[in-house]
Amino acid sequence: MSMTERRGLFITFEGLDGSGKSTQMDLLARRLAAEGHPALVTVEPGGTRIGAQIRRILLDAENHALAHTAELLLYFASRAQNVEETILPALCRNEIVICDRFTDSTLAYQSFGRGLGEPVVAALHRIACGDLTPDLTVFLDIDLETSLRRARDRNRNLDAASAGQTRMDEQSAAFYERVRDGYLTLARREPGRFRPIDGRGDIERIASRIWQAVEPAVSGIHA
């Protein structure tokens, strides 16, 4: 199955932790279903049974020793599995796929955040995903303070078994500042694909801004 044969619509959601991606993806999927366009919803890292195992290694707070290069390769391992097993087959069936994070996350967190070279990420993307690029990327922008506050509140609301810090929660504020600046740079670089949306304020209002950004692409797909 060639990547170039794919049709469908590939929408990704990006943003800092707690930017509202899961909340808004859920609302978008419901809206799409109500309009007669059911979508496949998936997540990175994770999304497949094997990807979920990789995700556990990546987020395990005990894995302080995880080397930056190993981390990078694990994100792409999860993604390669998801692309081959789930995303590409759905796109080839002309479906809509919505993915929580994709290679822009790796550029923002590993390249801009950790300082790993963008050419390395681009080369790994080529190996893991071929020429698969999102058609549309919803970038939910929030400030750092909002991100930290929401992540804290969310952890507090989780039950005892799933509560607690993940490995990524331990990063410094400076790291997340670089990640956010990275996202802003990526958005400026590809204004046609990136739809930056203010992720603060009323949930329904954000959802309607996202719908305005997505709807024109959806009308085209089954034409």
Of these partners, ligand TYD, ligand ADP, none, which one is at the site of residue 150 (CB under 5 to 8 Å by kind)?
ligand ADP
CA proximity to 29, closest of 162, 221, 218: 218
Instruction: Please list every residue from 154 through 173 that binds ligand ADP, using CB under 6 A.
Output: 154
**Amino acid type, 214:** V
Instruction: Please list every residue from 10 through 49 that binds ligand TYD, using CB under 6 A.
Output: 17, 21, 44-45
Identify the burial level of 18 via C-beta atoms within 10 angstroms of its C-beta, where 0-12 means exposed, 13-18 middle and 19 or more buried: buried
Is residue 139 a contact residue for ligand TYD (CB under 6 A)? no
In the list 21, 55, 79, 125, the residue contacting ligand ADP (rule: CB under 6 A) is: 21
In the complex with ligand ADP, the residue whose CB is nearer, 18 or 124, is: 18
How distant is the alpha carbon of residue 26 from its chain centre? 13
With tokens 């078994």, the residue in question is 161
In the list 143, 153, 170, 215, the residue contacting ligand ADP (rule: CB under 6 A) is: 153
Helices H / strands E in the chain, number of each: 9, 5
DSSP 3-state of 125 = helix
Residues near ligand ADP (CB under 6 A): 15, 17-23, 150, 153-154, 201, 203, 206
Residues near ligand TYD (CB under 6 A): 17, 21, 44-45, 75, 101, 105-106, 109-110, 168
